[in-house]
Amino acid sequence: MKIKSLFFGIAKDLSGSAELILDIPVNMTIGEFESLLSERLSGLKDTQNFAFAANESFVERDYHIKENDVIAILPPVSGG
Amino acid sequence: MKIKSLFFGIAKDLSGSAELILDIPVNMTIGEFESLLSERLSGLKDTQNFAFAANESFVERDYHIKENDVIAILPPVSGG
Amino acid sequence: MKPIIMEKTISVILTEQTLNLQECFDFVKDPGCGGVAIFIGTVRNNTQKKEVKFLDFSAYEAMAVKEMQKIAQQAHVKYTIKKIAIHHAKGLLQIGDIPVIIAVSSPHRKDAFEACQFAIDSLKETVPIWKKEHFFDGEVWVNAHP
Amino acid sequence: MKPIIMEKTISVILTEQTLNLQECFDFVKDPGCGGVAIFIGTVRNNTQKKEVKFLDFSAYEAMAVKEMQKIAQQAHVKYTIKKIAIHHAKGLLQIGDIPVIIAVSSPHRKDAFEACQFAIDSLKETVPIWKKEHFFDGEVWVNAHP
């Protein structure tokens, strides 16, 4: 299935894109998606301390990605 | 000896004056001065929780009043 | 019958405009409250001894606003407060500029202080906003490599 | 030889003028500091369910200023702060008016918050200022009979 993924902060610089449409297997978890990212985007390797969001809410590594989900890749935040 | 005493807050209302020149015995303590006040100014009886200052600094009940001291009678404060 | 008026108790803003301290205070101040606690972040002129030229704040905007609203709601649940404003800037900021203002009113000043601290601590942990520091000889994403 | 410039790190004011939030912030803000904590007292519309008409603040002025300066100095000793402003109003204040503003800048926000709380707590305990509440049917010295 195709999902939209958004890259912010240093993730945007490392991936080279703010937004990518990626084709991923059905029912993939965020953890599996993270591995897939590191394979497809060589810059995105050390993402252990990154967070992920699905549809503007934080999700854990065991979250199963659904059709039409918008997945955001969030490096450690530094607002304030 | 004569000393100047200043009355603030409710103490001013109870004593009827902002400022009084009082004649007191030499070497009197603040504690003794407090008793003297309650005798001379009938309104000023319950001053246990009042504080006293000599020359703009807090002093305890055992402070010995000196010639030319300015003694202030300070009810519980309520600034802020 | 009296109309029911829902008073707004939360103000959340993420903006490229200069943040306004008086506006935050005016939003939270309340005739039933004795005190307001405010935290104002300011851009420092150096990090780890390097002189900062300017900062660039970017955000996952929709989610950042949602997360700031969550923090404001949590502050209302955890503490006895009347109103809370969480305003954050985005875009380029110079030394001394204000990236964030948090203002909280409460009948009790302890709650105002604690809710204000809770809100800034939470914001720095969870709200998807990123700061890039620009130096005279380069730039770096803050916190990217802890 | 460079001249030695002693920067003013304490601003203490007791005034009949309206207190100015922006002025307090402008005094304490510092390019070496990441944060400013501010407490603003506001006049409440009621005490113990009685509606307040206005307040009258009186002070032992010389001593009050000295005590506020002491608190500011103690805050500098106890916490890592850069600047502190303690401004207090005197005279008649209406509902919503501001009797007190305390602002503190620090490189570390925890110190800014703690010093600000310390200062307002100390001020309410030791600074010789008295508040008389005027109601529609009388008046009372606050704290006079605890």
What's the mean pLDDT in D93-108? Answer: 96
Q: Between chain B and chain D, how many beta carbons pairs sit less than 8 Å apart?
A: 76
Which neighbouring-strand residues pair with C85?
C11, C103
% of chain A residues with pLDDT over 70: 100
- Chain C residues whose C-beta sits inside 8 Å of any chain A C-beta: 41, 57-60, 62-64, 66, 88, 99-100, 120, 123-132, 141-144, 146
What residue type is assigned to position B7 of the chain? Answer: F
Tens-digit pLDDT profile for residues C95-125: 999 999 999 999 999 999 999 999 999 999 9
Q: C62: which chain A residues are within 8 Å (Cβ-Cβ)?
A: 56
Whether residue D88 contacts residue B45, with contact meaning beta carbons closer than 8 Å, is answered with no
What's the mean pLDDT in C79-100? Answer: 97
Residue-by-residue DSSP string for A22-60:
EE--TT-BHHHHHHHHHHHSTT----TT-EEEETTEEE-
Confidence bin at D6 (pLDDT 50/70/90): low
pLDDT score at C50: 84
Distance from the first to the final alpha carbon of chain C: 59
Place of tokens 């949590």: C74
The C-alpha atoms of residue B46 and residue A34 are separated, in whole angstroms, by 74
Cβ-nearest to D128 among B10, B77, B80:
B77
Tens-digit pLDDT profile for residues C35-58: 999 999 999 888 777 888 999 999
The pairing of beta strand A70-74 with beta strand D100-106: unpaired
pLDDT score at D44: 87
Q: How confident is the prediction for chain C on average, in pLDDT?
A: 93
Comparing C-alpha atoms, which of D28, D29, D36 is closest to residue D10?
A: D28
- Consecutive H or E run containing D116: helix D109-126
Cβ-nearest to A56 among C66, C125, C126:
C66
With an 8 Å Cβ cutoff, are A79 and C146 in contact?
no
- Residue D1, pLDDT above cutoff 70: no
D neighbour chains, 3+ CB pairs within 8 Å? B, C
Q: C58: which chain A residues are within 8 Å (Cβ-Cβ)?
A: 8-9
pTM of the complete model: 0.94
pLDDT score at C125: 97
Comparing C-alpha atoms, which of D26, D42, D111 is closest to residue D77?
A: D111
pLDDT score at C41: 97
ipTM beyond cut 0.85: yes
Chain C touched by D40 (CB under 8 Å): yes
